[in-house]
Amino acid sequence: MAVITADDGTGPVALTATSVSSVNAEPPLLVFSVSAQSSASDVLLRAETVVVHLLDAHDLEIAQLGATSGVDRFAQTDRWSRLVTGEPVYHDVRAWVRCSVIGRMDAGGSTVIAAHALQSHVARDGEGEQGGALVYHNRTWHRLGSTPSSADPARDPSLPRTDVRRPPLPS
């Protein structure tokens, strides 16, 4: 899960993206798509830069905020700030990547945006965070992985868990 933020000079926008893909390591490139129906689409189609926030289960509120229609996603000013380069960035997310938009392609009712990573910040590296992946499936938020330890208060027990088990390798 990711939340994409941008500002083309008309004010910040944000949206939750269920899919962001890395397409190249050198130079570091990624892609995501934006539905024409999104309230953020006009700004994202004009913005020269974006911030891709890479989320985990601890970031559920930010994911829900970016996915909720008709709300001011930047009303809580203590949750976000601007980078020195001007882009809006949410605080305390697992990681974020500031990107330069290098291309856009119409794809039906959506636009695929290609972006070059310019700067990144990692707040939580995932070590010791087994089961922290956040996904949205069948209109429900899920955390992938095994059952959380009762000794770990940072985990949100209200999220449904989906155990992902790999089949054994053939001998």
- The answer to the question of residue 63 being in a domain is yes
- The answer to the question of residue 76 being in a domain is yes
Beta-ladder partners of 95: 54, 122
Element holding 135 (H helix, E strand):
strand 133-137
Considering its fold, how many domains does the chain have in total? 1
pTM (two decimals): 0.81
- The answer to the question of residue 9 being in a domain is yes
Neighbours of 144 (CB within 10 A): 17
Residue 63 has phi, psi (to 5 degrees) of: -60, -45
Neighbours of 56 (CB within 10 A): 21
Residues 9-40: pLDDT tens digits?
999 999 999 889 999 999 999 999 999 999 99
Print the domain residue range for 26. 2-122
Residues 79-128: pLDDT tens digits?
999 999 999 999 989 999 999 999 999 999 999 999 999 999 998 876 55
- The answer to the question of residue 80 being in a domain is yes
